[in-house]
């Protein structure tokens, strides 16, 4: 049985926490995101200053509308991961999660508090009944697409989807010249461009600096996300 807590000293290195403040802290529920790429909803509410104590967080989640990817959430331990959109419509504010150059998960405030478009990365795809293709993503989300449309979707590509319907509104290919955000490795947090792809190795350049990383760390992004990361 999964424990509901973990020791601060053994929490993921991606979390920005004071590890010596207390012994234990809440553990994210099992969900769509890996634990090192998500934080509990409780942590987000406290780090954004919307609550200061566990009691205040509990009150907010049960008495106010806190949406994660346009769906109401009331669990303290609900995992909020990379590029998830946390909306607070009652105060017209919204936040998302990114990873910085130190490999830490950072909360960013969104300019558009009504944002309902999310960027996801394709992990794989498979055919299901009804001439549909199920697109599986690195965040655990599954998106359905028509077979004729899904032919162009490849592993490593990114999709822009509308929430909560998951309707695909844009497709960005993982190819030479694509702008990518590195979410792992020694160059984590950097936005750069793909220069060449050789097997599982990626050579990138921003015009001034060249770097080599693994293909799995590259997340193809759009201009709106690039501005958010600057």
Per-residue pLDDT, 153: 94
**What are the pLDDT digits (tens) for 55-92?**
999 999 999 999 999 999 999 999 999 999 999 999 99
Percent of the chain's residues with pLDDT above 70? 99
- Confidence grade of residue 30 (pLDDT, cut at 50, 70, 90): confident
Number of H-type helices and E-type strands within the chain:
4, 19
Per-residue pLDDT, 2: 55
**What are the pLDDT digits (tens) for 148-206?**
888 999 999 999 999 999 999 999 999 999 999 999 999 999 999 999 999 999 999 98
How many CB atoms are located within 10 Å of the residue 31 CB?
A: 16
How, if at all, do strands 85-88 and 38-40 pair?
A: unpaired
Per-residue pLDDT, 201: 94
Segment (H or E) for 63: helix 54-63
């Amino acid at each position: 049985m999964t424990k509901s807590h973990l020791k601060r000293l053994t929490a993921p290195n991606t979390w920005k926490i004071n590890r010596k403040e207390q012994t234990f802290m809440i553990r994210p529920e099992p969900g769509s995101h890996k634990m090192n790429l998500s934080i509990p909803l409780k942590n987000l509410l406290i780090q954004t200053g919307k609550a200061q104590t566990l009691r205040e967080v509990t009150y907010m989640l049960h008495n106010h509308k806190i949406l994660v990817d346009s769906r109401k959430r009331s669990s303290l331990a609900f995992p909020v991961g990379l590029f998830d959109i946390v909306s607070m419509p009652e105060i017209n504010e919204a936040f998302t999660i990114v990873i910085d150059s130190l490999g830490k998960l950072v909360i960013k405030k969104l300019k558009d508090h009504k944002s309902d478009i999310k960027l996801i990365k394709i992990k794989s795809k498979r055919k299901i009944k009804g001439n549909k293709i199920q697109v599986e993503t690195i965040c655990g989300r599954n998106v359905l697409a028509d077979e004729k449309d899904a032919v162009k979707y490849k592993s490593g590509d990114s999709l822009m989807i509308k929430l909560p319907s998951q309707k695909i509104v844009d497709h960005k290919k993982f190819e030479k010249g694509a702008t990518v955000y590195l979410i792992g490795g020694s160059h984590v947090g950097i936005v750069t461009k793909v220069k060449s792809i050789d097997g599982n190795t990626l050579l990138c350049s921003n015009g001034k600096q060249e770097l080599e990383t693994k293909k799995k760390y590259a997340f193809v992004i759009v201009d709106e996300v690039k501005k958010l990361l600057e």
